[in-house]
Amino acid sequence: MNWTFFHKLGSPKWLYEISSKLLPWFLSIGVSLLVIGVIWGLAFAPQDYQQGNSFRIIYVHVPSAILAQSCYMMMAMSAVVGLVWKMKITDMFIASAAPIGAAFTFLALFTGAVWGKPTWGTWWVWDARLTSMLVLLFLYFGVMSLRNAFDDTNMVSKSSAILILVGVVNIPIIKYSVEWWNTLHQPATFTLTEKPAMPPEMWVPLLIMVIGMYCFFTALILLRIRNEIVNRERKTKWVRCLILDQKAQI
């Protein structure tokens, strides 16, 4: 078996370089897709025959919610890999991803509440979908504060990985909450097996927003993971050279 890639992944310098190379691509593609998606969704997509124009909130609500959950699953996978192979990169990813995941969860909850007011007549109900999303937000906060609680890096990575893995229970609850319990929330917009229950001129901009948000999310992770690397590798020669290079550029 060829382990070269695996070993490279363990090299912070290589990871820093590849992150720097990929960053402009993800950032520009992500931002362009988001701009296209927002303009399309706000001005060109048809309004919903029941909800009118408040329906347009879907173009920010659904992508945020998808990213909020998918970020958590990525963190959970990193946590497993980190616990088994004791890699530095997985912990750096978790450190970078937790605040971003929290931000997306907050946005999903906030836009959902604002959308709920004109649609359901209330900002908030304590139903399964909304409550489990709130739990997800607290899980992100938990990971973030746990990481600040200890000084020992080993302890930080281990404890946050365990917390993340315990919290994974919440993800299927979020996903199936709309099927298991009676809820105001509508079922999933996109599924892999069925065609969306809306016309293409409605779901195409939504799909663009979802892809755009994935790219934007990746760019944010790359930005933050670079800081993590530099911070942890500050004593090494290559970080020294990097700082000298940066100064020469300014």
Chain positions contacting other proteins, by CB under 8 A: 38, 42-54, 56-57, 60-61, 64, 99-100, 103, 106-107, 110-111, 114-115, 117-118, 201, 216, 220, 223-224, 226-227, 230-231, 234, 239-240, 243, 246-247
Least Å from the CB of residue 172 to other proteins: 27
CB contact at 8 A, 157 and 82: yes
Nearest approach in angstroms of CB 128 to other proteins is: 23
Output the six-digit token pair for 169: 């229970």
Provide φ and ψ at 74, rounded to 5°. Answer: -65, -40
Closest distance between other proteins and the C-beta of residue 138, in Å?
18
C-alpha 209/C-alpha 211 separation (Å) is 6
Cβ nearer to other proteins, comparing 22 with 166 = 22
Q: Cβ of residue 122: shortest distance to other proteins, in angstroms?
A: 13
- Long-range contacts from 117-122, C-beta under 8 angstroms, 24+ separation: 118/51, 118/54, 119/51, 119/54, 120/184
Nearer to other proteins, 104 or 139 (CB): 104
CA distance 20 to 6: 19
Q: Which is nearer to other proteins, 7 or 234 (CB)?
A: 234
Number of alpha carbons in the 13 Å side-chain half-sphere of residue 47: 7
Least distance (Å) from other proteins to the CB of residue 224?
5
Nearer to other proteins, 52 or 172 (CB): 52
17 burial type by CB count under 10 A (0-12 exposed, 13-18 middle, 19+ buried): middle
Q: Which is nearer to other proteins, 50 or 182 (CB)?
A: 50
